[in-house]
Amino acid sequence: MKVAVIFGTRPEAIKMAPVVRALKAAPQIETLVWSTGQHRQMLDQVMDLFQIKADRDLGVMQPDQTLNGLFARVLDRMDQVFAEERPDRVLVHGDTTTAAAAATAAFHRGIPVGHVEAGLRSGHMDKPWPEEFNRRCVDLVADHLYAPTTWARDNLLRENLGPRRIVITGNTVVDALLHVKGRIENEPDLAASLAARFPQIDPSRRLVLVTGHRRENFGAGFLNICQALAEISELPDVQVLYPVHLNPNVQRPVMELLSGKDNISLIEPVDYLGFVYLMGRSALILTDSGGVQEEAPSLGKPVLVMRDVTERPEAVEAGVVKLVGAKAENIVWSVREALEGPSRAAIANPYGDGTAAERIVQEISSAL
Ligand code: UD1
Ligand code: UDP
């Protein structure tokens, strides 16, 4: 059986790395790794860390790319690949343009699609935008739906996707996180070299780690976020560390408004090993990322999400993640509250137990 694993962005690669590993360990399966190259530097960081080599790289990324241009390039180039090689199944991940366009191309060619991280829903087509459309689009054409949680499975059932094959697998991000976290905890030399990589961290200050990239926050949202970060950096004993996403719509306001400020370090996106280390070092994480919400329960850190709605309610219900929106005043108030609150412990992760990739490969193998 020939299975093509398709991804193109940083989070997809982190979450597909355990799947690639588990597929490659299955002797009856020939695993093909196809990257659309929707991201470049941020994707290559993940590929290097997990030692994954793409059998095909479509190299679609362009500076400040448009959604339609990107979708069209992925659709067209993926179709050419499908014309040359006919996998028995393709696996796509999550809610990116890579996932939606590659799944559409496979559907048009009559190739069965497996959707890893199926069934997430915010219930708002504009939040996150365009991801809510992308994930619905993939679920609509997928034959095999790998839902991370019962909540995600129930969303699929409500949309009458029950006749397809739905399996609850857990989220593969937990597999990736536990693997990397375990390495940092068990390899003292590695932990020491990671500490040396971030000399800007002042151990006498509480570290607020920040990420942000949502399209619906571009413009006014990012101006508010930057204003909030400037205020947070003035709180006593606080230091802000912000690996800035490479999207120019993020880079422009962040660099313009926050460069050179005391107690704010703006750095390049960090490879996953470094980022997991930084999450472990932080007092609090401020983010709009999907993946970080899923990692939060395993970390024992307060995670404040700069969004109004989430397609990942389980960690909110578990009291680990709080939605704080993108208004400066609310962000600052919530950061103060969280920093003053009691410290937390890691809890059992509602998104998975680290065996999601194995369950996905078991389902694929059961078709043999
Ligand atoms: C994309 C996904 C989003 C996902 C996010 C993860 C879509 C529509 N968006 O958003 O769902 O949460 O990735 O990070 O699929 N760039 C670089 N180098 C890189 C990556 C990006 O220079 O390695 C710059 C380029 O100018 C590029 C721009 O960022 O054109 C936007 O990249 P794109 O993938 O379209 O959007 P993201 O905001 O990264
Ligand atoms: N991440 C990383 N380096 C960074 C920032 C984030 O490796 O500098 C990881 C993070 O731990 C999570 C994933 O990247 O696993 C999230 O990616 P992103 O926020 O870009 O996308 P999203 O999850 O929102 O789709």
Give SS3 for 199.
coil
Residue 368: predicted pLDDT: 81
Q: How far is the CA of 72 from the centre of ligand 2 (A)?
A: 25
Q: Determine the angle formed by the axes of helices 356-365 and 172-186, rounding to 10 degrees.
A: 130
Query: Catalytic residue at 39?
Result: no
CA distance 88 to 106: 11
Mutate to test the pocket of ligand 1, among 43, 247, 252 (most ligand atoms within 8 A of CB): 247
Query: Catalytic residue at 336?
Result: no
Task: For ligand 2, atom 15, name the residue with the nearest CA.
Answer: 291
Query: Catalytic residue at 179?
Result: no
Length of the chain: 368
| Paired tokens of 25 | 């360990």
Q: How far is the CA of 150 from the centre of ligand 1 (A)?
A: 29
Q: ∠ at Cα 192 (201, 210), nearest 5°?
A: 35
| Paired tokens of 229 | 């970060």
Residue 236: predicted pLDDT: 94
Of 128, 167, 211, nearest in space to 136 by CA: 128
Q: How far is the CA of 9 from the centre of ligand 1 (A)?
A: 7
Q: How far is the CA of 83 from the centre of ligand 2 (A)?
A: 33
Residue 164: predicted pLDDT: 86
Alpha helices in the chain (DSSP H): 10-24, 41-50, 67-84, 97-108, 131-141, 150-158, 172-186, 188-197, 220-232, 248-258, 272-281, 290-295, 313-317, 328-340, 356-365
Give SS3 for 207.
strand
**Helix and strand element counts for the chain (H, E):** 15, 13
Q: One-letter amino acid identity for 289?
A: S
Task: For ligand 1, atom 24, name the residue with the nearest CA.
Answer: 247
Of 180, 337, 151, nearest in space to 272 by CA: 180
Would the pTM of this model clear 0.85, i.e. be above it? yes
Task: For ligand 1, atom 2, name the residue with the nearest CA.
Answer: 96
Residue in the block written with tokens 């996998």: 87
Tens-level pLDDT at each residue, the chain (368 residues): 999 999 999 999 999 999 999 999 999 999 999 999 999 999 999 999 999 999 999 999 999 999 999 999 999 999 999 999 999 999 999 999 999 999 999 999 999 999 999 999 999 999 999 999 999 999 999 999 999 999 999 999 999 998 889 999 999 999 999 999 999 999 999 999 999 999 999 999 999 999 999 999 999 999 999 999 999 999 999 999 999 999 999 999 999 999 999 999 999 999 999 999 999 999 999 999 999 999 999 999 999 999 999 999 999 999 999 999 999 999 999 999 999 998 889 999 999 999 999 999 999 999 88
* Ligand 1 pocket, residues with Cβ under 6 angstroms: 9-11, 38-43, 61-65, 67, 70, 95-97, 130-131, 213, 246-248
Q: Please say whether the beta carbons of 324 and 334 come within 8 A.
A: yes
Residue in the block written with tokens 């067209």: 76
Domains and CATH numbers, the chain: 2-171+352-366 (3.40.50.2000), 196-339 (3.40.50.2000)
Residue 273: predicted pLDDT: 98
| Paired tokens of 264 | 């704010």
